[in-house]
A and B are shown apart, each in its own frame.
Chain A
Amino acid sequence: MAFEEKQAWALAVIAVAGYALYVVLVLTGAAGRPLVDAPYVTPLLWTIGLGIVAGIVSGIWFGIAARDDGLQADERDREIGRFGDHVGQSFVVIGGVSAMALAVVEAPYFWIANVLYLSFVLSAVLGSLAKIALYRRGMA
């Protein structure tokens, strides 16, 4: 498996796991109250922070594991990377527009923050899945 494909798998898993943890923490924190009253800022910041750290650590880990493999990325990896980033970018835009719409109607901060977080997660997961699909099925 290519170094960059391992990275894509790691990013997808980290993003899903981090968001799942966040959802569980917010739902348990709500404790029967309306969701908008649930404490979400601390779980949000922690899961985003841990996700970033986990992404860096996994990159270092795979880098060390592949240190004797010679070249780790080439023109194909860069093409696949650009395509995956393009797919992921579209979800960031959708999230930004959704957050703007929520702000215009003066929706609670809870929903604005959460729609942005969800768009980041979808961007990471679907961008990574697009890369994995190209690695597996080819891009001729």
Chain B
Amino acid sequence: MKPTKVTNSIRALRFARDEMKQADLAAAVGVTRQTLIAIEQGKYSPSLEVAFKIARVFGVSLEEVFQYPEEE
């Protein structure tokens, strides 16, 4: 299965937040740690609701967390 075209900056945002642990972010968002890892690795595109929750935890806009590059 091809990885999603949607990219994300979750890893960078976590590190900018005092190296926030994946488990802590997962708990704050309401998903399992395995799902948070899959999202971070681009193996799972979360629902809009979860995407907004992730952005809200970091206090940034959705597009600062998830990006959808233009087709070449």
Taking Cβ atoms with an 8 Å cutoff, the residues of A that contact B are 1-3, 5, 69-77, 134-135, 137-140
Contacts and interface: CB of A to CB of B under 8 A. Distances in A.
5 closest Cβ pairs, A-B complex? A138-B43, A140-B4, A2-B34, A74-B31, A76-B35
Nearest to B50: A75
Given A74-B35, A76-B35, A77-B35, A138 B3 contact: yes
Contact of B1 (A75, A76, A140): A140
B50 A140 contact: no
A71 B43 contact: no
B44 A71 contact: no
Contact of B27 (A3, A5, A70, A134): A70
A74 B30 contact: yes
Given A2-B32, A76-B44, 7 more contacts: A1-B34, A2-B34, A71-B32, A74-B32, A77-B35, A138-B41, A140-B1
A4 B1 CA distance: 20
A75 B47 contact: yes
A140 B43 contact: yes
A71 B46 contact: no
Given A76-B38, A138-B3, A140-B1, A71 B45 contact: no
